[in-house]
Amino acid sequence: MAATAISKARADALLTELSQGFGARSFQRKIQLLAEKSECGKPKELAQVPGMQSLAKRVYCEVFQRYGFSSDDSLVVVLESLLAVHPQLKAQVNQLWQVLGLHRDEDWQPGAEMDISQLTVSMVSEVLAGDVLDIRSSRERQLLRLGNTGTGTPEAHSAAAKSALEAKVLKQMIWWKAAPEDVQRRTQTPDKNMTVADVWTLEGEHIPSHMVRNGHLLHVEEYPAQGDILSVAAAHAKREQLRELQAMLTETEGKPDKPNKPDKAKNAGSAGSGAVALALLAGVFVVLSLGVWKLSQQAKRKAKST
């Protein structure tokens, strides 16, 4: 199937499925193991990391078949052909390379102040509080505190925030970037392994913003704020547009309709049917009355004869 035959919407859906497959926790663990064994510091191609090509193919061959491509097609060939037809998908394609640990386009920046090559991929092993994650890869823990956030005072609120953060990132792979050095110095804690950081899901959702947006944490301006990256920002914008449209529709539906004019034909029909029913009842009453009178007369005649 040629890339020209696939619409932008389907191409976007294909990239989303690939991102979910490559970003799965089990897949990322295998990538890390392969990267640790590899002697290539910054690979640009799957073939440069032994075992990476066959590992990635387990994911993309099934996705390709669902969208009309051959399972034998190369990942590079398919993605580059998609970009040739839909160049606006470059951010999503480069995100895939980053999730795979490849450095194919080191100059790419998905946001005005965001360079994916500066982000670190880790797995969240534990959530300690509504704003603290443990991403340890050994016995010694490594903590991340969500930057530009503050916790509420009530214990119930803190517990709810912790539960919300666990539901979002626990045992999941994340991207993170340490806040500026001066922020680290200003926010020193007794725990030396604590780092103030911006954190994102692999899909690009900014976790501190998510927690503030849903009322679990407070916004505290510590340094220039980051936000969602890649398609997540566009998704939020679409949701806002849908909310506005829904509000307009609700407002329109709430207006009272103009009173309908009475249907004279229906009223006339109703009146006519009512008159017929009354006439039938009257006829039945007359018949019954005659029957009763006749029976009474017969009874009187019998009485006289006896």
Whole-number Å distance between alpha carbons of 6 and 14: 10
Q: Say yes or no to pLDDT of 144 above 60.
A: yes
Q: Say yes or no to pLDDT of 105 above 60.
A: no
Average confidence (pLDDT) over 29-44 = 76
For tokens 């999730």, what's the residue?
99
Q: Which helix (H) or strand (E) holds 1?
A: none
Q: At what angle do helices 8-22 and 25-37 cross, to 10 degrees?
A: 70
- The closest of 102, 113, 129 to 48, measured between CA atoms, is 102
For tokens 């663990």, what's the residue?
29
Cβ atoms of 186 and 134 within 8 Å: the answer is no
Query: Can you list the domains of the chain with their CATH numbers?
Result: 3-105 (no CATH), 118-235 (2.40.50.90)
Task: Report the predicted TM-score, pTM, of the whole model to 2 decimal places.
Answer: 0.45
Task: Give me the residues paired with residue 82 across strands.
Answer: none
What pLDDT, in 10s, does the model give residues 225-266? Answer: 788 775 554 555 555 655 666 666 666 655 555 555 555 554
